[in-house]
Chain A
Amino acid sequence: MPASDARRRLWPLALLGALLAGCETMPPALSQLPGISGLAQKPASPLDALPAPEARAWPDPAQDVVNQRARGFGLVHAPEAQRYLNGLLARIKAAALVPEWPGEVHLLAQSSLSAYATAAGNIYVSLPWLQSVQSEDELVALLAHEFGHVYLHYHSLEGAIASADTAAGFASLGLGIAYKTAQAQGWSQVDTLQATYALGKTLTTALYGQSQEGAADRFALHITHRLGYSYEHGPKAFLERLGGWEQQNEALELQKQEALKQAIQASALARAAQGAPKSNNALSTALNDASANLQAGLDVGMNQAAFDLSRWIGKFTSAHPDTVKRQDRLAEIAEQYPAVAEERAPAQAPLQAALAQKRTQAILKNYQTAYKAMEAPQSPGAVVLARQAASGPTATHAVPLFALYTAAHAQPGAVRGLPRDLGSLFDANFNSEIDRAWALYTERSTRLKEDGQRDASKRVLERGLQHFAVAEETMPYAVKFYGETDGWERARQQAQQCRQRFPRVAERCQTAARSPQEVAEIDRRTQKKASDITDRWLKKK
Chain B
Amino acid sequence: MKLSFFLAASLAVAACSAQAQDRIVAPSPSSRAAVDLFDSAGAAAPVRQAPVAELGLPLTIQESKASFHRVAVGGQTYWIKGVHVRILRGAEGGCATQRVDSQPTIATPGAGQNACK
Give Cα distance in the complex from A432 to B72, angstroms.
54
Give Cα distance in the complex from A373 to B14, angstroms.
10
Is residue B96 within 8 Å, beta carbon to beta carbon, of the partner chain?
yes
Q: Is the interface of B mostly helix, strand, loop or mixed?
A: loop
**Quick one: which of B31, B87, B91 contacts A128, CB cutoff 8 A?**
B91
Closest to B104 in A: A116
Contacts of B28 in A (CB 8 A): 236, 327-328, 331
Is residue A197 within 8 Å, beta carbon to beta carbon, of the partner chain?
no
Contacts of B97 in A (CB 8 A): 72-73, 109-112, 371, 374, 399
Contacts of B43 in A (CB 8 A): none
**Quick one: which of B4, B91, B96 contacts A388, CB cutoff 8 A?**
B4
Is residue A15 within 8 Å, beta carbon to beta carbon, of the partner chain?
no
Question: Which of A110, A118, A131 has the most B CB atoms < 10 Å from its CB?
Answer: A110
Is residue B12 within 8 Å, beta carbon to beta carbon, of the partner chain?
yes
Q: Which residues 1-60 of B sit at the A interface, judged by CB distance below 8 A?
A: 3-4, 6-8, 10-12, 14-17, 19-20, 22, 26, 28-31
Contacts of A146 in B (CB 8 A): 109-111
Is residue A300 within 8 Å, beta carbon to beta carbon, of the partner chain?
no
Is residue A385 within 8 Å, beta carbon to beta carbon, of the partner chain?
yes
Q: Which residues 71-105 of B sit at the A interface, judged by CB distance below 8 A?
A: 82-83, 86-98, 100-102, 104
Shortest Cβ gap from A327 to chain B (Å): 6
Query: Known contacts A132-B91, A368-B92; is A248 also within 8 Å of B115 by CB?
Result: yes
Shortest Cβ gap from B36 to chain A (Å): 13
Is residue A455 within 8 Å, beta carbon to beta carbon, of the partner chain?
no
Q: Which residues 374-416 of A sit at the B interface, judged by CB distance below 8 A?
A: 374-376, 379-382, 384-385, 388, 399, 402-403
Query: Known contacts A241-B89, A242-B112, A319-B109; is A72 also within 8 Å of B102 by CB?
Result: yes
Contacts of B66 in A (CB 8 A): 343, 345
Contacts of A116 in B (CB 8 A): 104, 108-111
Q: Mark A404-444, 1 if CB is under 8 A from B, else 0.
A: 00000000000000000000000000000000000100000
Please list the residues of chain A having a beta carbon within 8 angstroms of any beta carbon in chain B: 71-73, 109-119, 126, 128-129, 131-132, 134, 142, 145-146, 149, 154-155, 157-158, 161, 202, 205, 209, 212-213, 216, 230-233, 236-238, 240-250, 252-253, 318-320, 323-324, 327-328, 331-332, 334-335, 341, 343, 345, 368-376, 379-382, 384-385, 388, 399, 402-403, 439, 473
Please list the residues of chain B having a beta carbon within 8 angstroms of any beta carbon in chain A: 3-4, 6-8, 10-12, 14-17, 19-20, 22, 26, 28-31, 66-67, 82-83, 86-98, 100-102, 104, 106-117
